[in-house]
Amino acid sequence: MRNQEVAALLSRMALLLEANGESRFKSAAYQKAARVVGGLADDVEGLARAGGLRELPGIGEGIAKNVEEYLATGRVEYLDRLERGVPEGAVALMAVPGIGPKTAFRLARDHGIRSVEVLRKELDSGGLRDALGKGASDRIRAEIETLQAGLGRVLLPEAEALAQDMVSYARSSGCTLEVAGSLRRGRETVGDIDLLSLDGRALEILGGYGNVARTLERGSRKGSYVLHNGLRVDLLVAERGGHGAAMMHFTGSREHNVAMRSLALGKGLRLNEYGLYEGGVRVAGETEEGVFSELGLQYIPPELREGRGEVEAAKDGHIPELVKGKDVRGDLQMHSRWSDGTAEIEAMATAAMEMGYEYVAITDHSFSARLAHGLSEERFKEQWKEVDGLNDRLAPFRVLKGVEAEVGGDGGLDFGREFLDEFDLVGVSMHQGYGQSAEKLTERAVRALSHPSVDYMCHPTNRLIGTRRGHMLDLRRVIAAARDSGVMLEIDAQPNRLDLDDVWSRKAAEEGVGMFIDSDAHSVDQLENVRFGVLTARRAWLEKKHVANTRGLKSLLRMLAR
């Protein structure tokens, strides 16, 4: 689908219209059209072919013509004309609040500033003071800082480490901070860190923390700070008696809060960040549990608070008993020095034993994963001797003989069926084929999943969060294929993978597909990553029964034998 591409085109045209001094209405119309196309469930190309563009809200004749021209030729004559009217780099500068077309033109044309990054460097070193005036250059500098703080989302483990450090720092001054926001909900990336305290001194204490580069604002109940890496931190001070309500508000998500507030209204109550009120009287707010129970709801774990039906479920008593870290009894994807891991099998296995596991699978790559030093049949047979020796020594702990088998261009696997069946378990992966169409990729996946030797699919989309979007698979078909052939899908727990993600893992489980949560560790340290996969599973509403590696060894082997 080219929807996102067309949306980006339209929003670029909106900016260029503004830069060219066209009316605000026209620019706003393009911006709205960009949002409409970006949020479309149907393929914009198909829609254009069927002549349906003009029926979309906000898409009139002019915009529709531009989109059709773009889809047919890859270019828009009108866009080219708009580009010619604007000095190079000026549009990029207009992303900074407070830089309008005039200032952007001047900076780009007269001072050769072509990007926000360069502008920031110039301002940091005291340049452009004369051109902009001191007040304006300070203001713009602050805006850039906020903008950059807002743009880059960081991966969960990084945000977690930064937050933990602040919590410890504050504690050393006798002040308690609690984590709220997306970090508490266990989202895979975090836009900013939200912290709650009951102690007003926290506002000042955090301002003096070494990793805080700047205090953006500090009131009597709220503060905002920017860390040296550009990440923003919001601090909220709760009042006595309103701790739980503040925590609930600040944990979010926004969508969840909206659902909670409207439920409260339906009962003639008012819920806000200070408490739950009946008339002017606070009837709950000290604890989250108190607020939920006063509203007649089960407790909703933070991971479920995304506005995805959890409030309804809590009303009906249907909040699931979510899977926990300690439910996981073994780890079924990891690599050793035989392929691209850094540790010996024995080191991985003994570390896993210390974590309390009953089994692991060593799943080195098959030979066509050349960059990852994939193994041939002969090399696997040698590896199995090492595994057999280890199993003699480590029993009852068990090292399973696994493989991460590469899916070929046509959906075939590296080894014949007979050899594959000698493994204890076979995972398939699609590391290749980025250029392929969604259809072709999906066919490959479906074919691999219907292979009789295959037990599970590793990191199904092969995305890398923030770096690579992942295969444009038709995951509905992949899930259906997995269900039909009794194959499991994996939540790869590497924090920059988390693949399948929460939304699709939930769909898979609802369709009756079994899930694995695996570390995909390439070193001993990385075995601990499983907990990020568990968080994703919880966000996917998964219970222990949905996750196959919560089974004991015997039960797992029985299941694999089927």
**DSSP 8-state class, residue 113:** -
* Segment near Zn ion (CB under 5 A); pick from 115-123, 147-155, 195-203, 428-436: 428-436
DSSP letter for each residue of 427-441:
EEE----TTS-HHHH
Q: Which is nearer to ligand DGT, 14 or 193 (CB)?
A: 193
- Contact of 180 with 196, CB cutoff 8 Å: yes
Classify 486 as helix, strand or coil.
coil
Q: Which is nearer to ligand DGT, 246 or 375 (CB)?
A: 246
| Minimum CB distance to Ca ion, residue 190 (Å) | 6
Under the rule (CB under 6 A), what is the footprint of ligand DGT? Answer: 181-182, 187, 190-192, 194, 234, 249-250, 252-254, 257-258
Angstrom distance (rounded) from CA 479 to CA 489: 8
* Segment near Zn ion (CB under 5 A); pick from 321-329, 380-388, 427-435, 480-488: 427-435
252 binding partner (options ligand DGT, Zn ion, Ca ion, none; Cβ < 5 to 8 Å by kind): ligand DGT
Angstrom distance (rounded) from CA 65 to CA 63: 5
Q: Which is nearer to Zn ion, 182 or 429 (CB)?
A: 429
The tokens describing 423, both together, are 């493994």
Q: Which is nearer to ligand DGT, 249 or 431 (CB)?
A: 249
| Minimum CB distance to Zn ion, residue 365 (Å) | 7
Q: Does 333 bind Zn ion (CB under 5 A)?
A: no
257 binding partner (options Ca ion, ligand DGT, Zn ion, none; Cβ < 5 to 8 Å by kind): ligand DGT
| Minimum CB distance to Zn ion, residue 346 (Å) | 22
Q: Classify residue 433 by burial, with Cβ atoms within 10 Å: 0-12, 13-18, 19+.
A: middle
Beta-carbon-side half-sphere exposure of residue 228 (alpha carbons within 13 Å): 4
Q: Which is nearer to ligand DGT, 250 or 292 (CB)?
A: 250
Task: Report the residue from 145, 192, 294, 306 that binds Ca ion according to the rule CB under 5 A.
Answer: 192
Q: What are the Cα distances from residue 531, in Å, to 72, 326, 351, 518, 526?
A: 47, 9, 15, 9, 10
Q: Which is nearer to ligand DGT, 192 or 424 (CB)?
A: 192
Q: Which is nearer to ligand DGT, 160 or 455 (CB)?
A: 160
- Strand bridging mode 212-218 / 275-278: unpaired
End-to-end CA distance of the chain: 38
| Minimum CB distance to Ca ion, residue 223 (Å) | 11
Angstrom distance (rounded) from CA 396 to CA 417: 29
Q: Which is nearer to ligand DGT, 157 or 433 (CB)?
A: 157
- The count of residues interacting with Ca ion (CB under 5 A) is 5
Q: Does 306 bind Ca ion (CB under 5 A)?
A: no
- Non-local CB neighbours of 367 within 8 Å, separated by 6+ positions: 374, 375, 376, 406, 414
Q: Does 366 bind Zn ion (CB under 5 A)?
A: no
Q: Taking the C-alpha atoms of 186, 188, 190 and 194 in order, what is their torsion angle to the nearest 10 degrees?
A: 0
Task: Report the residue from 234, 364, 455, 490 that binds Ca ion according to the rule CB under 5 A.
Answer: 234
Q: Does 181 bind Ca ion (CB under 5 A)?
A: yes
Q: Does 429 bind Zn ion (CB under 5 A)?
A: yes
Q: Cα-flanking dihedrals φ and ψ of residue 77, to 5°?
A: -60, -40
Residues that bind Zn ion (CB under 5 A): 429
Residues that bind Ca ion (CB under 5 A): 181-182, 192, 194, 234
